Amino acid sequence: ELLHPMAADYLGDLLSWAAIGARTTESQIHREMVSGLPLPVGFKNGTDGSIGVACDAMGAAIHPHTHLGMDEHGHSALLQTAGNPDTHLVLRGGHDGPNYDAASVQRSAAALEAKGCNPRLIVDCSHANSGKDPLRQPAVLQDLLQQRTQGQTAIAGVMLESHLHDGRQGQEKPLQYGLSITDGCLGWDKTRSELCAIK
């Protein structure tokens, strides 16, 4: 997830996919940055659960822009972008709860198509879709896999928040190695088990 636009100038050539978070999807600076990235980018739905801001972001990022950024020498420069045709929605739930269920996915895909946006989407199994409980991510994943087997082709992929150990920790010392200090994560053993079970 590209939280700070300058990070893309340092990391862009190492990335094959990126996301823009729910709180930054509305940011014009992030939309301009995405318009110059040579990789697919997912815009998360707003924290209220609506997909309108993500649709607007996709519409903005597909067009060329001129914006302040960093050139190949690390200097501030006015950059010109060509536009990014490879954007899509990431469903992550909202204040009113999850939006990974079959009805929500169908509604979102239809709304995207009606606005002329890419109807394929990725679903984030974490955040509001898991009620911020990392150990609920496998149940969300299983629901999404069932939707796919029942013919829902709008789901192009899923996101799991994973680290070496389950849960999260504060920043008090000493820190435990392999335990997230940001969002709660699914530990690697459970992640591997879920991934290996996918047929």
| Domain coordinates in residue numbering, the chain | 5-161
pLDDT 10s digits, 111-167:
999 999 999 999 999 999 999 999 999 999 999 999 999 999 999 999 999 999 999
Please tell me the predicted confidence (pLDDT) of residue 190: 97
Beta bridge partners of 69: 77
- How far CA 77 is from CA of 53, 58, 87, 186, in Å, comes to 28, 24, 25, 41
pTM attached to this predicted model: 0.94
The CATH architecture assigned to 5-161 reads Alpha-Beta Barrel (3.20)
Instruction: Please state whether the peptide bond connecting residue 138 to the residue before it is cis, i.e. omega within 30 degrees of 0.
Output: no
pLDDT band of 198, cuts 50, 70, 90: confident
Give every CB contact of residue 192 below 8 A, 6+ residues apart in sequence. Answer: none
pLDDT 10s digits, 48-64:
999 999 999 999 999 99
pLDDT 10s digits, 176-194:
999 999 999 999 999 999 9
